[in-house]
Structure 1
């Protein structure tokens, strides 16, 4: 941790607390909804409330992250969601909670999450040296996985049983503590105009960056600039589309996987506890993969590592349908989680290195809209296809889409994804031969 700096330590600690809160809220809110209604539509509204802010506000959150101090945005977002959730916890303790109050609370908390998460990814390159980005992102992703998947779920289940109001009260305290920890980060974290680049704390060298002059134009102009940048950058554009295809297919796949795996009438026949262990194995692999991602890069290079990891994930979609053996699911899940998390670290690091500092928040947001926007559609289409054509059709189709995404990426990925570009005019057209052009080396 010493080589990553004191500010990164505060950022990582705040990430741990806020993601533990995310895990409790993500699992606890749907469970709590079941105490108010058994309607599938009404319960599904909890998930809709959690994802809707990303579709509506991601681009605006990115624009603000490129205009204002990113650390202050994160602090304010944590304070707001802490206050909202604590107020709802008080209502719950007084017996005044209902489904609609809970939905409003989840919606407002997730609005704050959009602004906090966009700023968090954009502030990291201002906190650590460029050479340490892969290592830093690996630690962040592993911390997020532990909070969301390992600790959050069991804590939420316990709170729903013992003290339902604490499903909101505990995350409120965690978000508040995360906001306080962020105050320990030293330095300025606002993108600087006129090509001065960000001011890096903790004695790290300042990389060259491109300023967008965000203070001199409208927010619509800022967002338009980011969309144009992403569209003109062949590698980032292709990466976003490929990630969108992967997430679309994975949403369809995992939306119905439980029907194939769990129950007496399923093909594999695990009980719910066994399926929970499969998800735990997936999380174990994710933590391991995020921590060794920098070693994978040193062995194979950034471009080959990313394409190879995505290829492994695509092929693993076939294992449950071609080899429906219960015990085989566990090692498959470990490898699956490791490949997915390691690839995620490389993708985040690539964006942080390639996108100029003054555009990072907005282009990240545009990327995530493309990369994640198709997930609800994929889940619905997976259910429809499974209903009319059978579950194997869903699994094989998802694997095919994932392989197509890998092929699309392979045509443009450079062997090395390294230093940031120095100006909008230098956006390269990456060679189909996969050799990195001069602008990226």
Structure 2
């Protein structure tokens, strides 16, 4: 009976989420940003119904408990990429019953693949013996090195006097950043600071939490990237939803994001603006769906790039004079300097079409399965915190870029070597090939 009610609650939460996205788009985002591509072509009831069916199909196989990191990644992609990809194209495309339906079927298949990862038999992992204090020292040394690079490049200053004008901050940041400092920024903000927040909450250490939050605010004051400022909230929200070993993670996560959608609209109603819906809904939730539609339309009729701008550059000739994000930025937004960075599936389609979407998903499945196997002997909250921000980057970044630039590889290294306590949940821990640690070593 409890399972039945949980499923009803999940379906209800997703229904409100979809309604909230549609309302935000038609009443707040499109009226304010139609000049920027967020148009409303008033899709028919049948078109919207088909899209909603695609939204709800994954709920047939989904349960409430997230007992592996791969399931957390699944729900991040479902809420922030898959659902918008089903809903948003209806409003910007003339015909929603052409090949876009095939795209939606392929995305549905990919969601099923990612969900299945959480049920795979774990790989036996041999852990190199390293004392916890030694690994903590090496991690702290690594963090200090990153801060050294950041400070050497940008100096020590909190530019909060300019926070209201984030575009100036971003322009200044782009003029100063280089490859090395860019890596340092990403690894510190997406991995190390997230680790500090997780360790602080697990061990009830307020100092670590404060250091993590202040670190994010300092990086935001340099980059002007609101995702950095919001990342602390995102990580804390994920950790809050993981209470009781993630037994009700899905309900907490779905209703948390749904509440955020309606809260931002309420704030804009009170202030007679579109500022909050633009920040929280347009940028974080609507744009991934919009860009996936644009990438699909463009690379359905123009040559795909086959990674000729990336790892296959030495072997293939790139067919354009601009990288894919700038191609989309110029073609659909009319701005030659706009990098319309897209998600894992949009990038996959730009490279190899449907095969690229499925291929990059299979690669992600392999990565998540290995991470699940490593995490079986590690604290669940710490493991999730390390992978959550790199997973979030998949919302607007390619998988290949996320592996190194956004820290997936670094998350693997830290989670492998840093021994943390794993609490056993007898209701869900069914794979007994791993002896879970009862204390820090």
Q: TM-score, normalised by structure 2?
A: 0.29
Give the structure with the higher percent helix: 1
Compute the TM-score of the two structures, normalised by the length of structure 1.
0.29
